[in-house]
Amino acid sequence: MAGPLTPQDAALYRNPHSTLPMPGGGSDMPVAYYQSTKLPLTWNFLPADNLYQAVWQTPVFNLRPDLRSAGGSPKTGVPIWNTNSRLYVQISNLVNSSASTTQGLRVTAREQASIAYGDVRTGFSSVENVTSPVDVTSDVMLGTGQPDRVVLVFAPLGESYPVRFWSVRLVFRKDPSDWASDQIIHVESAYY
């Protein structure tokens, strides 16, 4: 009878000979997949800015899990084994008959990354902002015939040779004059 699995034998970080760096993914590597729960945005009023704001963020993705603990760093982040994968973010409940959900809505996206160290368990994270906020409002608000749902697609920095640790943060903002308390926008994501 086999003993318990050790970390180097675990499915997502398989390395039976404990080599460093570990061998590349073989035919038995898991499919690259992550899916979040569909959650409503939590809005907060910011008196200093005189606006309502909601922030949504992905977990930190480890886009180079083949590097394992190279350089002495711990294995952290959601491992994504396929470098050609994309992050899909679905924003829903944009058409609400009782509130002008998209009226005055502004949405920005910002990427966070780290080239070598992504330990987010200690309260300190080296995964920091690496892009300026990009206005993606026009990708969310489509004008006449506004659909109830939209999908945003993100490719990590480095494309087919991505940065090791990566995350995306969306910030939703509304002016108080456009605010209605019953506007509930949902966000969910998948990486594949």
User: What are φ and ψ of residue 88, in 5° steps?
Assistant: -115, 125
* pTM check: above 0.85: no
Q: What's the half-sphere exposure (Cβ side, CA atoms, 13 Å) at 39? A: 12
- Residue 131 identity (one-letter amino acid): T
pLDDT reported for residue 144: 79
Closest to 18 measured CA to CA, from 27, 29, 26, 7: 7
Contact 188, 36 (CB under 8 A): yes
Q: Both ends of the chain: CA-CA distance in Å?
A: 36
| DSSP string computed for the chain | ---PPPGGGSGGG--TT--SSPPPP-TTPPP--EEPPPEE---EEETTTTEEEEEEE---EES-GGGTTGGG----SEE---TT--EEEEEE----TTS-TTTT-EEEEEEEEESS----TTS----EE-S--EE-HHHH---TT--SEEEEEE--TTTTS--SEEEEEEEEEE-GGG--TT---EEEEEE-
Residue-by-residue pLDDT tens, the chain, 192 positions? 444 544 544 555 565 555 555 555 555 666 678 999 999 999 999 999 999 999 999 999 989 887 777 666 666 788 888 888 999 999 999 987 666 788 889 999 999 998 887 665 555 567 889 999 999 999 998 887 889 999 999 999 887 789 989 999 999 999 999 888 778 999 999 999
Contact 60, 79 (CB under 8 A): no
